[in-house]
Every structure is written in structure tokens, then in C-alpha cells.
Amino acid sequence: MPSSDLKPAVIADPVTTEAIVLAGRKPGRRLRERPGGRPIKLERSDYVLRGISYVTISLFALFCLLPFVLIVSASFSSESEIMKSGFGLLPKGFTFTAYEYIFKAPGQIIGSYVVTIIMTVTGTAVGLFVISMTGYALWRPDFRFRNQISFFIYFTTLFSAGLAPTFLWIGRTLDLRGNYLAVWLPLLMTPWLIILMKSFMRTVPFEIVESGKIDGAGDFRIFWQLALPMMKPALATVGLFLALGYWNEWYLSSLYLGSTVEFKPLQYQLYNVINTANALRNSVAGSNVSITDLPSNTLKMASAVVATGPILLVYPFIQKYFVSGITVGAVKG
């Protein structure tokens, strides 16, 4: 065969070829990356789908935001304007009367905030630790009595002893009436949260326990250093439920604390403020004092803003973990 007929072999380099294609593409075409790093051209249908998704999510977010805007607007409105023309997106007869009534005793409100924050932080931290250990123990296949204990925990979600035995047990047997522990302890563990944590632990491979035992680690070290870091979505979800339970609690405070403590939890303090305003409103209804000058609806809205404001600032930071944690066990592979 003549040497002139021998042509050198051309080996196409994928990286070089891709660079040539990208260099020769039309300007203005947007590309997005594949999972492996290769670009994918966005078609017109992709832009349409994204546009529809963004508009739908924006409208849904707006509908969720409107009620809170109405609450904030009503809290800065005058009671007479609310009774005359109802609620609106903008304050009517702008005034701070409702907030002045709530913060008439600022030391009491600040003390209630401090009590609620301490109970929420400590209760959430201790509750997460106890619930995560319980869920971890009930998940371990080598735990002999895990089915029996799981049954007793689940049984409490179906049947309850009732208010009277619980009140006698906490108030007389434990002698916690007038003590913050009477509110703090009952909210520490919830059967449903233990079940949720156990369900999440099923997604954790048991091989991590075996590998820890091979390396000579004890049970608590396996839980603390191997299992716990893999439980972040469930911890965020359970922590949010615990924090909301402590922050919004007022019923147990009314049963066990009453007027025996100087600083009541925030929700119970605001509940008392609203009841006092309603009692004052009813007492002057037949006198010459105009009841439209006394805050009622605006006071409720201002109380909602004071109570929910701090927790709304925390929620966006754990929302992504909350979504992944609450759907635990919903999809089976």
C-alpha cells in the first residue's frame, strides 16, 4: 500500500470537541449544567414551565402572607375604625393603643419573654436529646424489647387517662403546682415525635452500628458520633414541633401556675391581658364610657404579632430540614 494512502487517525477528544461546539454556538443561548458538568440547552418549554412555576409559587406565597399583613395592619388600627369599616391591608386610624395596652407593664412582658425563651430553648434541647436516643434505641434490631416498648408508646396515642388523674399526679403526687416544671416536663416528650424519629431512623443503614462496633466504639459513642449526624432533618423537624409546643403553651400554665408565679409564660400572659380588657369592656358597657375607645379586636391582633413575631424569624432557617423531615417514610424505594 502506498504511503500516500495512509492517513493519520483522528482521535476526537470529547473535551476539545465540546469546547469547539460551545465556541461556535449562537450568542444568547443559555446553558445549564448536567449533573456530570456537561451543559444542557434550555428549550422554550423549559422557560414556560419555569415561568408558570414561579408565578404559581409567588401567588401561593402571597395568599399565605395576606392574613399576616391583615393582622399587623389591624394591630395598628383604631378600634372605632375596625368596628366601622372592618379590616384592611393598610392601618385605619393609625395608633399604638393596642401595643401601649400590652406593654403597660413592660417589666412583666419582658419577664414573660425571658421565661418562655428559657423554657423553649432548654425544653427543645433536652427533648431532642431524649427523643433521638429513644428513637435510636427502638430502631436497633438487636434491642430485645423494642417491639414491646414501641407498643406501649403507641398505646398512649390512642387512650389517655384524662385531665383529673393527670392534674392529681402533677399537682399532688409530684407536688409541682406553682412550679415551672409542671409545664416544662409534660411537653418534653410526645409519643408522635418518638414514632416520627423511629421512622426516620429506618432510613439510616444499620451497617454504621456494625462498623462502629468493629472499631471498638460503645453504644453511646455510635449514637453520638455516627447516628446523630445523619439525623439532622428529623432533628430539625422534631425540634420545630417541640419549640412551637413550648412557645405556644398556655393551657398547662393556667392549670398549674395561675397567679402563684411572678412571671407567667408569654402566651398565658397575653391571654390574661385580653381577658382583662374584655372584662373592662363589659363592665363599662352600661356606663357613659364609649366602648369603642377600649381595644378589643386590635388588642387580639397585637397579641398575635407579639406572640408569633420571634418564632417567624426562626422558621425560615430550618424550613428546608422541616420539609425533608416531615416526609420521612412517605416514599418507599
Q: What is the pLDDT of residues 145-191, one digit of tens each?
A: 888 998 988 888 888 778 888 888 898 898 898 899 999 999 998 89
Q: Let me know: does 258 contact 143? Beta carbons within 8 Å.
A: no
| Distance, CA of 262 to CA of 187 (rounded, Å) | 21
Tell me which residues of the chain have a pLDDT lower than 70: 1-40, 284-294, 318-333
Alpha helices (H) along the chain: 14-23, 44-75, 79-85, 97-102, 106-139, 146-158, 163-168, 181-184, 191-201, 207-214, 219-221, 232-247, 251-256, 266-283, 297-326
pLDDT in tens, 25-62: 444 444 454 555 555 677 888 888 889 999 999 999 88
- Residues 6 or more apart from 71 whose CB is under 8 A from it? 301, 304, 305
Task: Tell me how far apart the alpha carbons of residues 250 and 269 are, in angstroms, rounded to a whole number.
Answer: 8
The residues facing 32 across adjacent strands are: 40
Phi, psi of 27 (to 5 degrees): -65, 145
For residue 322, what pLDDT is reported? 60
| 69 three-class SS | helix
pTM of the full predicted structure? 0.74
Nine-digit cell string for 229? 449526624
pLDDT (0 to 100) of residue 6: 43
Those residues with Cβ within 8 angstroms of residue 332's Cβ, 6 or more apart along the chain or in another chain:
none
> Sign of torsion, CA 307 60 92 288?
negative
Q: How far apart are CA 256 and CA 154, in angstroms?
A: 27
Residue 305 and residue 74 in contact, taking contact as beta carbons nearer than 8 Å: no
pLDDT of residue 329: 47
